[in-house]
Amino acid sequence: SQKIEQNSEALNIQEGKTATLTCNYTNYSPAYLQWYRQDPGRGPVFLLLIRENEKEKRKERLKVTFDTTLKQSLFHITASQPADSATYLCALETNNAGNMLTFGGGTRLMVKP
Amino acid sequence: DVKVTQSSRYLVKRTGEKVFLECVQDMDHENMFWYRQDPGLGLRLIYFSYDVKMKEKGDIPEGYSVSREKKERFSLILESASTNQTSMYLCASGILYEQYFGPGTRLTVT
């Protein structure tokens, strides 16, 4: 069966360090993968999209890698700040029309000052 | 900025009641989605719509129906609410790949 796995345990890091979150998937061949941020009591907010033919994508302090051989994406936040504390969700495109997503369970990031 | 609004932030209903959750988007997006989010289970797709009057089942459509009479509005209907439908319900709209989410409705069925 299809599965998307993110570390369900919270990741605690010190301000200024790089946070690295992992998204692993099985039995998918997604054309693209997305990362979203979700704050408590709010809906997810789109951050980045990376396509299957892209190895790496950057946006300000965010960097995403996509390894279709390993079936894994890594999400990095450099120079992390307490305001980066949130739950981060990865999502994979799961239909040929490209408009349907399946989400991982999310990883909660806590950045301590 | 894209705006997706949901009719209620919090809702309490009794078992067996018919429940309507409304979602409106202001960006002329073709695609609209209804998810529910539960601890430990993540976001799960209930239904989505890619055009007016068109709908597709997601992963967990049982116990739900939807209506899309206008492009900007997508309604989720619980025909007879049950306690296992207590959850956070999130609506999203999108075009091509990105999805834009509303603030969510926390529904409690007692």
Listed residue (A39, A25, A12) closest to A92, CA to CA: A25
CA distance linking residue B30 with residue B94, whole number of Å: 7
Q: Into how many domains does chain A fold?
A: 1
* pLDDT tens per residue, range B33-51: 999 999 888 899 999 999 8
Could you tell me the residue range of the domain that residue A28 belongs to?
Answer: 1-49+83-113
Q: Between residues 16 and 75 of chain A, which touch chain B (CB distance below 8 Å)?
A: 32, 34, 41-46, 49
Contacts of A46 in chain B (CB under 8 A): 98-100
Query: What integer pLDDT is reported at residue A97 of this predicted model?
Result: 63
Q: Do A52 and A98 meet the contact criterion of CB atoms below 8 Å apart?
A: no
Residue ranges and CATH numbers for the domains of chain B are 4-97 (2.60.40.10)
Copy the structure tokens of residue B81. Answer: 């609410």
Q: How confident is the model at residue A96 (pLDDT cuts 50, 70, 90)?
A: low
What number is the average pLDDT over the span A91-96?
80
Interface check for A103 against chain B (CB to CB < 8 A): the answer is: yes
Of B42, B94, B101, the CB nearest to A105: B42
Q: Is A76 helix (H, G, I), strand (E, B) or coil?
A: strand
Cβ separation of A49 and B42 shorter than 8 Å?
Answer: no
Q: What is the pLDDT of residues A25-64, one digit of tens each?
A: 988 888 889 999 999 989 999 999 999 899 899 999 999 9
pLDDT in tens, B70-98: 999 999 999 999 999 999 999 999 987 88
Chain A residue nearest residue B106, CA to CA: A41
